[in-house]
Amino acid sequence: MSARAFARRHRRWGPILVLAACFAHNLHASWLCWGDLAVDTGREIATAVRIANGEALYADLRSWYGPFAPYFNGLLFKLFGARYSVLCTAGAASAAVLCAVLYRLARQYMDRTAATLAAAAFLYLCAFAQLTFMSTFNFVLPYSFAATYGMCFAAASLLFLVRHAKKRRTADLALSLAALALAALCRVEALFPALLAHAAFLAFGCFERGRLSRAHAAGYAAAAAAVLGVYGLLAAQVGFSTLLFDNLLGAANPRMQPYILHVAGLDQPARSLGYAGASLLVFASLGATAWHFGRGDDARGRTFRAAGLAGVSLAGIGLLSPEVSLRAVPFLALALFVHAARAWRTAADAPARDRHLAAALLLAFTLGACARIPLRAVAYHYGFYLIPVGLVAVAWGFCAWLPHARRYGHPRTLARCAGWGALLGLIFSHAAVSRQAYATHTVEVAGAFGRMRLAAYGKDGPIGEPLRETLKLMERLPPDARVLAVPQGEGLIYFTGRANPYALTMYLPMDWSGTWNDEKIIAMWAANPPDAVLRLKYGSEFGTFGEDYAQAPWAWLRAHTAFYSGVRTKDEMLVEVYLRPGVTLSGAPQ
């Protein structure tokens, strides 16, 4: 093999080996630290288990999201068994798929090194990270598989759309629209950025002769027909009103407004704008430094400046906390989108227009993803699945746009070093926080669903040991016991092999929407009275079930059950267990 062929193969395989090593490192560091038995994880488990057992989504159990994720996970459970490891494997696989998609997307704009760092940043910031006390904001066992699967499809749709915009191949358009349709069957927050990118493509195409054709009209019509057909079949089965108002529009409940404002960073706008200003200042300073010092003809001088730029960027971004570092992304994306649109309009030839159009599509997608978190663009909470394409946009800004705008003379421009340093700074700062969080997962539990490690402490105190004690109580229930957990705690039920037969899996204030009110909820319980009730009293921004809200349903439960036991820490009761008269627990844990 010639030296040139060896170098070419090394360049191709290098990114794969680096990303595989980063994936393995994250998997090992976070092993069994995924999911949370007390909150959303239980909903994902319960929905998939019940679908695998033959129940119907939207009819037998409620869901605010599209049908793809629960039915896909239900199929996995049916094929491989209802185990914790099955869902974790599916989640890790989705992370690997999105990592590959992000790398290929980044390669449409930049060199292999920058693309590799952007994809690696996704692994450390989003795929496996634990940046809060909760373990559900990652791809392995997320609070919502509809979100992570949806973002995989949305990012794939963007990738193929960019390829179509550059090469005008019909096959790329078909793949992009197919992925767009699948995103529509997952979650609207994942669908919206892809829709915005497609809208930008069509808007630009309307001003360029020959860009759009009958194939585009047919493709979009087919994608829309497929999505409407799926939801039409579901509406025919459960009723249009039930599908729409009792399920899919549940998140539009006015009770959700405070939560939506919090996630968006609009509940404390002054603080959010301050964080965004700090992030913008750092990014602008790094960009200005790269702009000023990024050109030089002396080889030795270039080497020192490259090292200096990379080091300054790494330190500048790395010193920012995960709460602050990415807040500038929506503002930078908006400014660069306007610049790309103007550059497209004045481009002298077709290749230049295609290049600017591809940039505009990336930035439009980034803006659409940040629409849910405009002043809180961070890599945790909703940001863990909304920010990944934004990482590619950050890499593009430093490693492609800035060198081109500056028109550096040397092909290996020094501005790229600033981008590489910025991405490494993001990786190191977020990995440090995750490493500390993984170290707190010292309480191992095992049950019928599998084995996992719980965090010893949450934001309000001990959490791991109380949950383990609750699991021991649950194991003493009769195997066929009907168990209700309020307001959350579905994971505790299914982790011990018990079942919840009710349509609702959570009882938070926003779950009182559509036709679901106190009377309907009580009637559902009365038709099939629970044998055991768990009331979790962990600190929540939504208040305590039965005290701050749901007083009538809690009064009904208290009238039909008797307090049996509880799990407390110090003087605070964290979990209360109530039993229906006649139900007894075995004398010793299984």
Residue 255, domain member (yes or no): yes
In which element (H, E) is residue 191 found? helix 188-206
Write down which residue in 394, 419, 437 finishes a domain.
437
Q: What's the domain range around 67?
A: 3-437
Residues 524 and 424 reside in one and the same domain: no
- C-alpha distances in Å from residue 198, one per residue of 1, 72, 98, 361, 372: 44, 26, 19, 8, 18
Residues 456 and 425 reside in one and the same domain: no
Residues 407 and 468 reside in one and the same domain: no
**Tally of structural domains, the chain:** 2
Residue 118, domain member (yes or no): yes
In which element (H, E) is residue 339 found? helix 329-346
pLDDT tens profile 479-536 = 899 999 999 999 999 988 888 999 999 999 989 988 999 999 999 999 999 999 999 8
pLDDT tens profile 320-356 = 889 999 999 999 999 999 999 999 998 888 888 999 9
Residues 413 and 506 reside in one and the same domain: no
Residues 403 and 474 reside in one and the same domain: no
Residue 453, domain member (yes or no): yes
- The full DSSP string for 317-336 is HHTS-TTTTTTTHHHHHHHH
Residues 409 and 453 reside in one and the same domain: no
Residues 231 and 137 reside in one and the same domain: yes
* Cα distance between residue 564 and residue 96, in whole Å: 46
Residues 502 and 386 reside in one and the same domain: no
Residue 333 and residue 444 in contact, taking contact as beta carbons nearer than 8 Å: no
Residue 503, domain member (yes or no): yes
Residue 584, domain member (yes or no): no
In the predicted structure, residue 102 carries a pLDDT above the cut 50: yes
Residue 307, domain member (yes or no): yes
Q: Name the residue among 91, 131, 151, 140 with its Cα closest to residue 389.
A: 151
pLDDT tens profile 54-97 = 999 999 999 999 999 999 999 999 999 999 999 999 999 999 99
Cα angle for residues 542, 544, 547 (degrees, 5° grid): 125
Residue 105, domain member (yes or no): yes
Write down which residue in 412, 437, 462 finishes a domain.
437
Residues 368 and 270 reside in one and the same domain: yes
pLDDT band at 459 (very low <50, low <70, confident <90, very high): confident
Q: Name the residue among 124, 192, 128, 123 with its Cα closest to residue 154.
A: 192
Write down which residue in 389, 418, 437 finishes a domain.
437
Residues 373 and 483 reside in one and the same domain: no
Q: What is the pLDDT of residue 587?
A: 61
Residue 299: CA atoms inside 13 Å, Cβ hemisphere, count?
0
pLDDT band at 305 (very low <50, low <70, confident <90, very high): low
pLDDT tens profile 237-282 = 999 999 999 999 888 888 888 888 989 999 999 999 999 999 998 8
Residues 498 and 518 reside in one and the same domain: yes
Residue 588, domain member (yes or no): no
Residues 386 and 504 reside in one and the same domain: no
